[in-house]
Structure 1
Amino acid sequence: MAQAQNSKLLNGERISLAILLLCATLLCGLPLLLVFKIGLTQDGALALTPLAEAISSRSVQRALWHSMESSLLSALAATVLGTVLALVVGLTDVRAKGLLVFLILLPMMIPPHVTAIAWIQALGPASPVLRWIGLAPEIGSTHPLYSREGLVLLLTLQHSPLVFLLVRAALRSFPRELSDAARVSGAGAFRLLTRVTLPLLAPALLAGFALAFIAALGNFGINALIGIPARYTTLPVLIWRRLASFGPDVLPNVAVISVILAMVALAALLIQGFLQRRMRASLIGLPQDPLAISLGSKRIWVEVGLWSFVGLVLLLPAASLLATSLVKTYGLPLSSSTLNLDNFAEVLWRQSVTLRAFANSTLIAAIAAGVIAVISIFLGYFVSHRYKAYRRTGTATAAQAEIAFAVPGLVMSIAFILAFIHPLPFLNISLYNTLWIILIAYISAFLAVGLKPVAAAFVQMDRSLEDAARVSGAGFFRRIRRVFAPLVAPSAASGAILVFLTAYNEVTVSALLWSTGNETIGTTIFNYEDGGYTTLAAAMSVVVVLATILVMLGMNGLAKRVPSGTIPWKD
């Protein structure tokens, strides 16, 4: 009798897990399989000939080398920069840490193509800020950012906050006893850093490097806006150019290149996993705030250096972007006679495409964030399930989401084109060239972002709560609704906020999926800049940056009214 009742209670779980596995397979696994199927088959049979032919192409070889080179160099630089910032902010007694953390993480929330546009306008010969202070390069000279080094610099600035976030979180997970024991033994700050802190941070440093490498590998906005003028073509840009050619064999062609890009990203993940297992160290003790090492008389100089860096990274490009948006023609000096708000009026009221883009991005980013939050609550439950079969199935489902997130966004775009270029079977409904294909792509690409904090919350949860609910006769959905959902709501909200901000500003996933009437903010800004409408691109970028800052400030204002962990960048 008891066994029958237990089987009845598990029915809801089986059905829910089956639905989650099916959805993950359809949204994450199947589209990627189609990419590999087309890229690795010839005449309907498995063959490596298309892959070998693509790799033998000089343009593909050059783009692959450029992708590997720029991703590796920028990931190394981002790891160093992000780690230094995390150590200074996390381990010393510098003041205004909360504001510093907010400002350091802000570039991560700014779209990469907006970052590229801002720096292009900040350092170029027509820079309104540099011309005003007399430091602009000569008119007609080559832009200093149009080079491999310029591309690496912007990728570094874009992705170092990712490393900062990971390393800072790792520092806060250290038991305080480690630092105390080292200090009692007479270790100074430098010895504590080199002999205790950095060795224990090795897994986090490796994870940060891998994340920065994969993010740079799939970055489209910076690679396109800097790489194309510099004639430094990377694989994402090559895919975009090939797809824009609309040749008869364009889909098989870009599918093969997408396979190469996906294989590099997956190889990086496998190497990271192998090395992290070798580096893993078990820590005993509760996580506490790390030591606040006193800098003494050096504190003021460290703070000056920190704030100068933050000011350079944020204020110079922001001021240039704003100045460009306030003049009628790019290159005009900013003065009382040239100052106007026509560009803002154009993008906010006159241009229907920009109004549609804001509405479309807000709608699909909000829907994607909400759907992912709900899916994450159910999937997080199964990832930490007590029964091995359920846990393995849940883990396999989550793994598909992890792979979809790790694979560059342009590869996912190609995958969804292949999956939905024909009408849906039986329904005869076409999602291609609609807004809904972008929404589904967002859910697939960013599911892992929303799942991670929820899965971590489930792992830390006491399962005696579920036992008590089962004894009381609560079914699966009632347990989720009344017990687990309220407990993991802060983590689900944290993931949803990150998903919304990421999807709202992205351009990589939607670069190949948008169509007339279904534009997003990212594609509209990119198209303005690519088409030579620099002042309109600047004005729209300013609006996007202000909207992002307002959202983040609004979330900060709610930090004291919501449970700890709800705001992703707050402790």
Structure 2
Amino acid sequence: MRASFSAETVSLGLVVAGATLICGLPLLLLFKIGLTGTGGFTLTPLLEALNSRSVQQALWNSIESSTLSALCATVLGTALALIIGLTNVRAKGILVFLILLPMMIPPHVTAIAWIQALGPGSQVLQWFGIAPEIGSTHPLYSREGLVLLLTLQHSPLVFLLVRAALRSFPRELSDAARVCGSGASRMLWKITLPLLAPSLLAGFALSFVAALGNFGINAMLGIPARYTTLPVLVWRRLASFGPDVLPNVAVISVILAAVALLAILLQTGLQKRMRTALIGLPQDALALSLGKNRILIEALLWGFVAAVLVLPAASLLATALVKTYGLPLTWSTLTFENFAEVLWRQSVTVRAFANSSLIAGLAAIAIALVSLLLGYFLTHKRRNHRRAAAAAGAQAEIAFAVPGIVMSIAFILAFIRPLPIINVSLYGTLWIIFVAYVSCFLAIGLKPVTAAYLQIDGSLEEAAKVAGAGFGRRLRRIFAPMIAPAAASGAILVFLTAYNEITVSALLWSTGNETIGTTIFNYEDGGYTTLAAAMSTVVVLATICIMLAMNGLAQRAPAGTIPWRN
């Protein structure tokens, strides 16, 4: 028993120390550098940055675009969740999958697709003869265009939260209201929406923070529109390579992190005030009959899905299939050379696919293993173990919530010098991106594993202890097999997120260590539009295939692990 206790304690200590090292310490170092001067702690650098006109404008643009897009995403995501969750529309499973698909597509790929879909060179609009005139200003190069794409990117987050909340409601509330003569609209305003208030607030806050740290859409649309946000300003300042560039961007990153953390704290406080205790078990949601309007509502739903997915996807593919951007897609201009170029000939793209596959896969495996241990201690019977594990889990949640560009700066500051003892530097290598992925996405893999641990009967472990099984044996023979489906689902979500991301790696990549996201961005930024479209098409197809493969785990994973499955 003493050996078992010792093994548990050592394992817990290693997990907490590791989480602190890669999640907590980089952020602490960032705040230390951003809030210190020659005489120690001071707010002078922060105040000087806030007095800068460029920082003020970027801060305002970030708050403005994030707030507007979060409001729109909350309205759109809630409407979709109410229609699919409470009515008798058909093909709900397919609709849910398609509505959540934009959330899995990289933001910069989304931006590229929409730029090509609505621009003067749009193949699809040219087919219908409604393409803007050559030389005219792109309609998306504006604040409104940026807000529109951020809304489409983040409304699935709200949809996911509201749909989950609807499925947790006791049906007796709605049944009682209907017995009293309430119609669907009255139940919506008097019962459903008030009970959904905490979820709506959470969805707004999540969309706000996601938009605040979004780099791909902000860069692709904001730079041409001269609408600079804080993530883009950090990227530009770091590219200047001045002597004081790191302290400068550290201060801006502190501002960005502070806004994100303030939004999370406000959300948490307001949610506690708005929370309503519900009595009764969750049941199947109501299926309110739409009657004669069902066909119209279904047509609007499928029209929305087609507009959000088919138009940009078709434009992306059409651009990838022409020799030069702007040419109409005909049999004479059709070519597969762009795909051959990015898949086999261009060494940078081949290397980017290999690098992203390697570090995303390793990060997914590492997070699954760490989650197996950390999830065990988060649900442990001993209070001290739970508290220590909760501290590690909280650091992982903060690292995930803080914008990825901020974490990138934090990792540069933490690992720009060689590591002590071994005297090896991670900066400028692929491994700094790997460590950053583990830090930023640990919370994604941890959630389904923790949910699976909560479903395990504690008597199983007690029986194993009585039989003399040590900690390692219990973990291998009892918990690992039972947790494996949830850990695998979490690992696939981590892989999907890391494989496509650009926000974290935008400042950490170097020559020879490119990722898929940075390569696509660099192609588009350098004017190689057809190559960017071809590579983006491959990434979108890979994303869809991975999401479809996740359905194979649906029967064995805990409920809610796979977002688009009931």
Instruction: Give a deviation string over 1:87-146, Cα, whole Å, max 9, x none.
Output: 111111100011001100000110000000000011111111111101111111111000
**Among 525, 531, 535, the residue aligned to 1:536:** 531
Contact 1:490–1:564 (Cα < 8 Å) also in 2: no
Deviation at 1:458? Answer: 2.6
- In structure 2, what residue type is equivalent to 1:27? I
State the TM-score, normalizing by the size of structure 2: 0.98
Contact 2:93–2:564 (Cα < 8 Å) also in 1: no
Deviation at 1:474? Answer: 2.0
Instruction: Give a deviation string over 1:370-410, Cα, whole Å, max 9, x none.
Output: 11111112111212222221111111110110110011001
| Structure-to-structure mapping, 1:58-69, within 5 angstroms | 58-69=53-64
Deviation at 1:14? Answer: 0.9
Does 1:219 find its partner at 2:205? no
Contact 1:435–1:514 (Cα < 8 Å) also in 2: yes
Matched residue, 1:256 = 251
Matched residue, 2:97 = 102
Contact 1:123–1:143 (Cα < 8 Å) also in 2: yes
Matched residue, 1:381 = 376
Does 1:25 find its partner at 2:20? yes
Instruction: Give a deviation string over 1:152-195, Cα, whole Å, max 9, x none.
Output: 00000000011111111111112222222222222211122112
Does 1:455 find its partner at 2:440? no
2: distance between equivalents of 1:458 and 1:199? 32
1: distance between equivalents of 2:306 and 2:133? 25
**Among 393, 397, 408, the residue aligned to 2:403:** 408
Matched residue, 1:509 = 504
Runs of 4+ in 1 over 6 A off after TM superposition: none
Secondary structure of 1:195's aligned partner: helix
Contact 2:489–2:550 (Cα < 8 Å) also in 1: no
Pair 203,440 (structure 1): closer, same or farther in 2 beyond 3 Å: same
- In structure 2, what residue type is equivalent to 1:231? R
Matched residue, 1:176 = 171
Secondary structure of 1:292's aligned partner: coil
Contact 2:452–2:558 (Cα < 8 Å) also in 1: no
Does 1:553 find its partner at 2:536? no
Deviation at 1:199? Answer: 1.4
Secondary structure of 1:200's aligned partner: helix
Secondary structure of 1:76's aligned partner: helix
Matched residue, 1:303 = 298
2: distance between equivalents of 1:280 and 1:384? 24
| Number of aligned residue pairs | 566
Does 1:79 find its partner at 2:74? yes
Does 1:196 find its partner at 2:191? yes
2: distance between equivalents of 1:381 and 1:80? 38
Matched residue, 2:430 = 435
Secondary structure of 1:386's aligned partner: coil
Instruction: Give a deviation string over 1:511-547, Cα, whole Å, max 9, x none.
Output: 0000111110000000000011111000100010011
2: distance between equivalents of 1:271 and 1:391? 26
Instruction: Give a deviation string over 1:239-261, Cα, whole Å, max 9, x none.
Output: 00000000000000000000000
| Structure-to-structure mapping, 1:37-436, within 5 angstroms | 37-43=32-38, 45-436=40-431
2: distance between equivalents of 1:332 and 1:360? 33
Pair 558,372 (structure 1): closer, same or farther in 2 beyond 3 Å: closer
Instruction: Give a deviation string over 1:310-337, Cα, whole Å, max 9, x none.
Output: 0000011011111111111111111121
Instruction: Give a deviation string over 1:451-474, Cα, whole Å, max 9, x none.
Output: 112223333443233222222222
2: distance between equivalents of 1:479 and 1:558? 24
Identity of aligned residues (%): 76
C-alpha RMSD of the superposition: 1.4
Contact 2:372–2:449 (Cα < 8 Å) also in 1: yes
Contact 1:490–1:565 (Cα < 8 Å) also in 2: no
Structure 1: tracts of 5 or more residues without a match: none
Contact 1:78–1:157 (Cα < 8 Å) also in 2: yes
Moved more, 173-182 or 28-37: 173-182
Deviation at 1:283? Answer: 2.0
State the TM-score, normalizing by the size of structure 1: 0.97
1: distance between equivalents of 2:521 and 2:55? 24
Contact 2:486–2:558 (Cα < 8 Å) also in 1: no
Deviation at 1:477? Answer: 1.9
Contact 1:24–1:400 (Cα < 8 Å) also in 2: yes
Contact 2:49–2:55 (Cα < 8 Å) also in 1: yes
Contact 2:404–2:504 (Cα < 8 Å) also in 1: yes
**Among 515, 524, 527, the residue aligned to 2:519:** 524
Instruction: Give a deviation string over 1:11-49, Cα, whole Å, max 9, x none.
Output: 111111110111011100111111111100001511110
1: distance between equivalents of 2:463 and 2:273? 39
Structure 2: tracts of 5 or more residues without a match: none
Does 1:494 find its partner at 2:453? no
Deviation at 1:284? Answer: 2.3
Deviation at 1:205? Answer: 1.1
Secondary structure of 1:446's aligned partner: helix
Contact 1:495–1:568 (Cα < 8 Å) also in 2: no
Deviation at 1:495? Answer: 1.4
Deviation at 1:557? Answer: 4.8
Moved more, 108-117 or 337-346: 337-346
